[in-house]
Amino acid sequence: MLQVRAAFAQSIGEVRQGGEAWREDWHYDGGFWEKVREKFLLEKGFTYMNNGTLGPTPRPVYEAMVEYWRLMAVNPHENSAIFQNGVEQTRAKVANFLGATADEISITRNTTEGNTILCQGLDLKQGDEILITAFEHSSNRETWRRQSKRYGLVVKQVNFPLPPDNPAVILNAFEDAITPRTRVMHFANPLGSTGCFLPVKELADLAHSKNILCFVDGAHCTGQVRFSLKDWGVDGFACNTHKWLTGPAGSGMLFVKQDVQDRIWPNISIIPWDKPPKGARKYNLSVGRRPWPVVAVLEDTLDFQNAVGRDRIEQRTRGLGTYLRRKAADIPGVRTYTPSDPSMSAGITSIGIDKVSGLRLKEYLRQKYDIYVPGGSRSPGGRVRISTHYYNTFEQVGLLLKALSELSSGAA
């Protein structure tokens, strides 16, 4: 294991190089971002803009995981024990990354599992109300809908315009939806469909002022922007590594605030349930045999992001997204559903073109410019979601804008 870590550290060392001009200039490269791009396995000429679903794994992280699987193949039981003994070190690194304590962190399999633990672990009564936004991912929305059917809970969807004019629009919509029966507010930040960032700290403060729990689906903020759960003040938070952290699928992170852990039960138990391990460990030590290489590589995934620089990544991601939205706004017929305010948006942009279906937009981008974006409905004006992350370039965004212009003008 020590040899693997040493080789990994050496392989990512060069991405730490670079000057400070990036703080002032979105377009600044100086060779730094090209070095970073070379660490990814993406084919030359292929533009991948779908981090919102699944991010590409950089070579150092990929090679570390392959080596971990080799170790499992040559000596399964003893090497499995070594990986398991390293979980506490990984937990501490996750806690530092998210702005929490190790006792508040559970290593899960993905955001969905974390959301489900928070949802199913609470003892709620018939008639209790849960507030979610009208734009939630199904892993949050459907879990609460199932609980409402099973236990007579009331799930209320908070609606607001897309894009909202300012954060106060969202805050006021939640405040108007609260009643004396409201027990939980659970929402994504940012919204996965449009990339709109919510005023999390203010929403958590609002919830706590009325004795309401505040949970966050963090699938899209982790690895895209820098934040601290301590600063946000939320009670629960779930995220994954396979989107903006550009790690492999199969590992996730769950935060449960220390003072609410006694209110949230674990969902699976193969150890004595009445003698749980300390803190949030009770939520991940009860799932039986796990693919430990995928857990171990979580540490390498965080190391890679830290090596590139979390501030650099946020600056680059916001820069690419803001550039795309500003230029797209000048193209007749193009509609953007992501806020233009940089404080409410970053690397996700939701775009549609009048009289052009989302499916047509998606296929045109791929067939003519080899740009991959997901989804796309068949209806005119249908939206697609574009994810611009730090390994993308302004030149790639320029090609995307060219395609939008061609489709909008009818020249495609």
Domain span at 151: 77-304
At 326-378, the pLDDT tens digits run 999 999 999 999 998 888 999 999 999 999 999 999 999 999 999 999 977 88
Residue 267: beta bridge partners?
none
Measured over the CA atoms of residue 261, residue 264, residue 269 and residue 275, the dihedral's sign is positive
Asked if the bond preceding 163 is cis, omega within 30° of 0, the reply is yes
- Provide mean pLDDT across the span 104-130: 96
Tell me the pLDDT band of 386, cut-offs 50, 70 and 90: very high
Residue 252 included in any domain: yes
Predicted confidence at residue 122, as pLDDT, reads: 96
Residue with tokens 């940012």: 190
Predicted confidence at residue 378, as pLDDT, reads: 82
**Measured distance CA(55)–CA(20) in Å, rounded:** 27
Predicted confidence at residue 17, as pLDDT, reads: 58
Comparing CA positions, the residue from 336, 317, 318, 286 lying closest to residue 392 is 317
What percent of the chain has pLDDT above 70?
90
Predicted confidence at residue 271, as pLDDT, reads: 67
Residue 358 included in any domain: no
219: CATH: 3.40.640.10
The yes-or-no verdict on residue 285 having pLDDT over 50 is: yes
Predicted confidence at residue 307, as pLDDT, reads: 93
Q: When comparing pLDDT for 27 and 145, which is higher?
A: 145
Predicted confidence at residue 277, as pLDDT, reads: 74
Tell me the pLDDT band of 14, cut-offs 50, 70 and 90: low
Q: When comparing pLDDT for 6 and 32, which is higher?
A: 32
- Inter-helix orientation angle 87-98/76-85, to 10°: 40
The yes-or-no verdict on residue 65 having pLDDT over 60 is: yes
Residue 158 included in any domain: yes
Residue 165: helix, strand or coil by DSSP?
A: coil
The yes-or-no verdict on residue 139 having pLDDT over 90 is: no
- Provide mean pLDDT across the span 257-279: 82
- Provide mean pLDDT across the span 391-405: 97
Predicted confidence at residue 205, as pLDDT, reads: 98
The yes-or-no verdict on residue 90 having pLDDT over 80 is: yes
Residue 209 included in any domain: yes
Total domains present in the chain: 1
Residue 105: beta bridge partners?
255
Predicted confidence at residue 272, as pLDDT, reads: 66
Residue 88 included in any domain: yes
Least confident piece of the model among 135-144, 163-172, 183-192, 273-282: 273-282
Residue 317 included in any domain: no
Residue 179 included in any domain: yes
At 308-322, the pLDDT tens digits run 999 999 999 999 999
Tell me the pLDDT band of 169, cut-offs 50, 70 and 90: very high
Q: Provide the whole-model pTM.
A: 0.93
Q: Rounded mean pLDDT of the chain?
A: 92
Predicted confidence at residue 74, as pLDDT, reads: 96
Residue 284 included in any domain: yes
At 21-56, the pLDDT tens digits run 544 455 556 688 999 999 999 999 999 999 999 999
- Provide mean pLDDT across the span 199-216: 98
Count CB atoms within 10 A of the CB of residue 323.
17
- Provide mean pLDDT across the span 94-114: 96
Predicted confidence at residue 284, as pLDDT, reads: 77
Residues 351 and 377 sit within 8 Å (Cβ to Cβ): no
Q: How many Cα atoms sit within 13 Å of 137 on the Cβ side?
A: 22
